[in-house]
Amino acid sequence: MSSPGTQPQRLLLARQLVRDKGLSRTDLALLEDILREGARDLEPLIEATPQREALAEESPAQAALRRNLGFFLAFLHGFSPRRLGEARNAMGLVMLHSLGRLGDQAEAAHRELLAELKQPEWVTQLLDLLASLRAMSLAPSEDQNNLRLLWSAFLADHRDAFRDILAALQASEPGAASVARLNAQMKAVNRAIQGQGRLEEALTRLAEHLESCIPAEIHSRVEPLLLLEHVVSHLRLSLVRPLDRGIHWPAVEQVRGSLRWLWDHLGWSLPRMDAELFRDSMPPELRRLLQQLRRSDRPAFSLVARALASHISLLGLLESLEPATSAGLRDRYAAVPTFLVLESELSRLAERSYDPARGESLNPSRPETHRLRAFLRQAVLSLQQDQSTLRGLLQQALAGQDADQLALTLDNLRALLMNHQKQLMGELVGIFSPDVQNRLFPESPSMMEEGERLRVRLQRLWEQVPPLQGQLLLHLELQDWPRLALGLSHTFRHLLAFRRSPEFPLMRRPDREEAERLIEEMGQLLESPQDVPQALREGMDLLGELLRFLELFLLRINARVPLIRQDLEVAQEALRLISELQNHPSGAERTRLSHMLIQTSKRLGVRDPQALALLKRWIRIERSQKEGPMPSLDQLASHLRHLALRLEAALG
């Protein structure tokens, strides 16, 4: 299997970079090393077996078709019926709409190809008629009488197309013989419709005669796209009945096997790394930083290069997605497989590029090593949380079978993942150069900024709902059911607005699921209740529970600012004590300062376990040897300085 790490493809990419940017030999060597380090992670997402060589050039429509077919195949390869849950029915829609979009894209690609080749109109009509004929021939054939009526109507609708094609063929050089064969076969089809012959065999021969009339110079170019239309139409028709009651695993296996065969026949490939995106994502400042890192610390360069290459690959996939809110119903459901591929890509990034075990190969004497190891652990947790958020919200939106909610969920997830990818890239670069981080990632929101956005949104909801609760309690006491129902409906709209906001996915999973449960239960109570007064009473109880949840959640968020300020003061005090301790190599004053440092730094252990671990390491060394240099104290000081900078940035 070839990959971006193999020599020919790397050289092609290097030549393209030379042409476009005029890079130096040093830059090319650097980019070669980055590709080499990330070669295992940047294998093509889907690659065909070497049965057929794909054309080097492709039109924009064909490129979009190849991309979407590749993502759909990658989704099918990782699809499991055990993960369906309540989204079983919606996944059937995802399959049908994805196949429908692929069919339309194949049609658009072959029309674009015909326009480029400047083919006459009758060739386009011939190809469309052939695709329609093949699709119709796959209709269910249990009722022969009904099938004959369908075919009679189909041929009547396409009478003008047949006449135009026959007229154009008559004027061509070998046209007389082709027209005679087509007329004879049309008569055989008409006799079969009337019950005098085998209809399926007659239609198959008609399709073969029509295909033989396609000009030879374009047949080889258009045949793969016609084949794709034919296969996709067949699969979509075969899925209609099994998917009436939700996803059907044998049907999915049929789709996967057929499309995989087609992908191999076309010879297509879907690489993870896009050359143009890779070029644009390596500005001169970043190249200089990586060159310096490669010269001074090769293991750290290997880790950083591998992570950056994977981030660039993921960002390219995210930026290629279109906004779902402005798309139609079909495109919304057809975008779901790409997001499920994104989920598996996040898992791959966490397991390969950010494997904490890779931190063991770093040089412990380097000042950035400790921060880099801590960042690896934090990045894995962040990626796993994003993966859980994506899976949970997407499954929830599919289970609700609400296309508008699905579109909002897809757009919110896209924005969330893009921000977090840029944030991880910025923090990784910032370990080695804060200046480069500020220049390349100025708009990347920090975790504190995202938390502040969530706090403001919750505060706004808190300011809107409790005043309404006072009025609703009065309506409940007076048993004014119409006004109470209107008030609860108005309150529920505020809750739905919060649920559909971009800040809602920022909540951690347990809190998000609890808020979702309360909002859903209120919606179920207000939707066609059997006993209206009882439903309204229960709705008021549920509203009280939800307000208590919001109050506790806001208290937890608001309490973080004093805690951050307290940790900042502790870190600064510990740094001051370390500075004084380094100036007193021995004596009673050193013992007193050591005791004060222990008492001060251990207060950080609640929210920063790494500081406590470094403190314990220094204590062990301090007790074993009281003289000589102590690198563990320098490591603790480096960690505290980094912690103080992060806390100062969090406080704004």
Q: What is the pLDDT of residues 179-214, one digit of tens each?
A: 777 777 777 777 877 777 777 777 777 777 777 777
Residue 270 β-bridge partners: 46
Highest averaged pLDDT of the listed ranges 65-69, 225-229, 645-649: 65-69
Report percent pLDDT > 90 for the chain.
2
> Which has the minimum average pLDDT: 7-16, 246-255, 262-271, 477-486?
7-16
On average, the pLDDT of the chain sits at 77
Which carries the bigger pLDDT value, residue 143 or residue 333?
A: 333
Judged against a pLDDT cut of 50, whether residue 4 lies above it is answered with no
State the pTM of this model: 0.68
Unique residue bearing structure tokens 């220094």: 618
Judged against a pLDDT cut of 60, whether residue 250 lies above it is answered with yes
Judged against a pLDDT cut of 50, whether residue 3 lies above it is answered with no
Judged against a pLDDT cut of 80, whether residue 645 lies above it is answered with no
> Tokens in use for 544?
């009280």
Alpha-carbon torsion 153, 156, 157, 162, what sign? Answer: positive
d(CA 314, CA 71): 13
Judged against a pLDDT cut of 80, whether residue 447 lies above it is answered with no
> Which has the minimum average pLDDT: 46-50, 222-226, 405-409, 571-575?
222-226
- For residues 435-451, one letter each, b for 16 or more C-beta atoms within 10 angstroms of the residue's C-beta and e for the rest, the string is ebbeebbeebbbebebb
Judged against a pLDDT cut of 50, whether residue 93 lies above it is answered with yes
Which carries the bigger pLDDT value, residue 591 or residue 118?
A: 591
pLDDT at res. 410: 92
pLDDT at res. 285: 82
Give the pLDDT band of residue 117 (cuts 50, 70, 90): low
What average pLDDT does the segment 106-124 reach? 72
d(CA 542, CA 522): 7
Residue spans of alpha helices (H) in 479-508: 481-499
d(CA 580, CA 189): 99
Judged against a pLDDT cut of 70, whether residue 223 lies above it is answered with no
Q: Residue 43 corresponds to which amino acid?
A: E
pLDDT at res. 630: 53
Judged against a pLDDT cut of 60, whether residue 485 lies above it is answered with yes
Phi-psi sector, 587: left (phi>0), alpha (psi -120 to 50), beta: left
d(CA 293, CA 30): 11
> Tokens in use for 343?
């989920």
- Tens-place pLDDT, residues 290-348: 888 888 888 888 888 888 888 888 888 888 888 888 888 888 999 999 999 999 899 88
pLDDT at res. 237: 64
Residue 84, SS3? Answer: coil
Highest averaged pLDDT of the listed ranges 69-73, 128-132, 298-302, 397-401: 69-73
